[in-house]
Structure 1
Amino acid sequence: MSAEVDCGRSQRTREAGRRWLELGRLVVVVVGDREGDIALFMAGLTAAGVEVHAFRDGSEALLHCGRNFPDVVVLNARLHDITSAQWTRAVRQKSTLPILVGVERADADAAGPALLAGGTSVVGRPYSAEEVLTSLSALQSSIAARRAAEGVLRHGPLDVDLQTFSARFRGRELELPLKELELLHLLLVNAGRVLAAEEIMEALWGPQPRSTSTSALKTHVQRLRAHIGDRAAVRTVRGHGYTLGYFETESQSGDPAAPTAGG
């Protein structure tokens, strides 16, 4: 394959990935393959701003999907520890998680049992990041609806699960006190806009003397940044208020007009 064709494919993959940014980070779990065997596929997804997790064992992947909140699973039709149909049925008992069943062209019949068990569609192996992202375009609205129904908000590497009152940053669980969790939730709901300090204070505490709530808000912002471990996660727009920061999956991260992280 020529460098020109390879470059064109990479560009199309990045463009397909950018379409998901309005949903926040897209999380894909690949089941039944060793990372070394799908390194190029994972690299292509990562370059498009997608978070990828790979599991050789189907049972280990089931545990991961139960504890976390992936958006899509790419499932090898031929798992080595359990069958792909068993894996799919286990997921379908609790979730509408999209499951793309991966098959070799000469082994297309292998996808049948998993599809009958509730698999979403078929993708070819060896995997192509461009093909997988393109095939997911039709599922974009259903993924957003599933997140909303299950109470998950996502922005960059931040997740908040409203059913379990939990939050994660880059997959790491954040042990947030209630007020910091409420603050993070408010910022996530309003991702992309600057919230005035007065607006945040009223949402968190109701009408109170400005001196009290202003001091408390600054304290909670500082604590939230400390819990996340990234000062840029919550940015101060001087004279206006606060907003969620930009992350590396967003092209605005290099925008000179982006708000500051101080304050």
Structure 2
Amino acid sequence: MGARTYLHRWAETAGAQLLVVDPGRDEAGLTDGMAGRGVHVTWVSSTVDGLVEFGRLDPHTVVVSPDAPGLPAADFVTAIRRHGSPYVVAALEHDNAADVGVLMLAGASAVVARPYSTDHLWELLSHSPRSLREHAHVVVGPIELDAASYRVLIDGERIADLPLKEFELLRALLLRAPGVVTDDELREALWGSDGLRPSGNTIAMHVTRLRHRLGGTADVRRIRGRGYSLTVEPSTGQ
């Protein structure tokens, strides 16, 4: 599979969840753009489907259009706010400003213009009470991983781009560090829930390559019967 497919699977497995309730189409490529930032977008066309997906996903953020059919959008916002604490964003077009005001009264916290801009929405959500940046930008000791720009820095210096599997592996380990990521969690993060499930030897091969690329910066340990953990070496001053 290509890098685009891997990014979507990676975001769905380990990233933040963004639910968009909008009868329109994702013509601006919001789904692709947010996947590159570690955010998985679930797009539904009605508030009824939105309630189903809200219960399934427990999303970080919900974007809702006043034009969405089904349950009135204001009632939908009231319902999800009653059963959780998502960051609710009202979608605005020039002809529905009054309806957006109703959504704000129902519990929406911000407004985003349609058609959606990935950069605009990302900036908005990054300054929300529950920032999304932690899903794309991870720092552990001297290691800094930025999914939005697909880069890894060690002590502020960018290293050669990692192959995608090793990039995904490093991100999974950093997000849990110094805790253990199980073999099953790594299989899910690197290969998804469908298709061929690789053996432990395949995972070990990628871990060996990642260790080599990190040099002495971090220790990636095998915890027998459990999985792997990443810790920063004492020589880095951590």
| Aligned mate of 1:191, from 175, 179, 190 | 175
Is contact 2:39–2:135 with CA below 8 Å preserved after alignment?
no
- 3-state SS, counterpart of residue 112 of structure 2: strand
In the other structure, the counterpart of 2:100 is 111
Q: Distance in 1 between matches of 2:75 and 2:182?
A: 45
Identity %: 22
Superposition RMSD in Å: 3.8
Q: Does 1:58 align with 2:42?
A: no
More helix by share: 1
In the other structure, the counterpart of 1:26 is 16
Within a 5 Å distance, the mapping from 1:57-206 to structure 2 comes to: 57-139=46-128, 142-143=129-130, 191=175, 193=177
5+ long unaligned stretches in structure 2: 1-10, 137-171, 213-218, 223-227, 231-238
Q: How many correspondences in the alignment?
A: 159
- Shift in alpha-carbon separation, 1:41–1:189, aligned structure 2, 3 A: closer
User: Please, what TM-score do these two structures have when normalized by structure 2?
Assistant: 0.54
In the other structure, the counterpart of 1:241 is 221
- 3-state SS, counterpart of residue 79 of structure 1: coil
Structure possessing the higher relative contact order (Cα contacts under 8 Å, 6 or more residues apart) = 2
- Shift in alpha-carbon separation, 1:222–1:48, aligned structure 2, 3 A: closer
- After superposition, the C-alpha distances for 1:66-90 in whole angstroms (9 at most, x for unaligned) are 1222111111122111211010011
- Cα offset, 1:33, TM superposition: 2.6
Within a 5 Å distance, the mapping from 1:3-18 to structure 2 comes to: none
- Shift in alpha-carbon separation, 1:134–1:240, aligned structure 2, 3 A: closer
Q: Distance in 2 between matches of 1:91 and 1:223?
A: 32
Q: Distance in 1 between matches of 2:118 and 2:185?
A: 35
User: Please, what TM-score do these two structures have when normalized by structure 1?
Assistant: 0.49
Residue type of the alignment partner of 1:131:
H
Is contact 1:25–1:51 with CA below 8 Å preserved after alignment?
yes
In the other structure, the counterpart of 1:210 is none
Q: Distance in 2 between matches of 1:46 and 1:223?
A: 22
- 3-state SS, counterpart of residue 66 of structure 1: helix
Is contact 2:66–2:96 with CA below 8 Å preserved after alignment?
no
Residue type of the alignment partner of 2:175:
A
5+ long unaligned stretches in structure 1: 1-20, 146-153, 157-187, 201-219, 246-263
Q: Distance in 2 between matches of 1:42 and 1:190?
A: 24
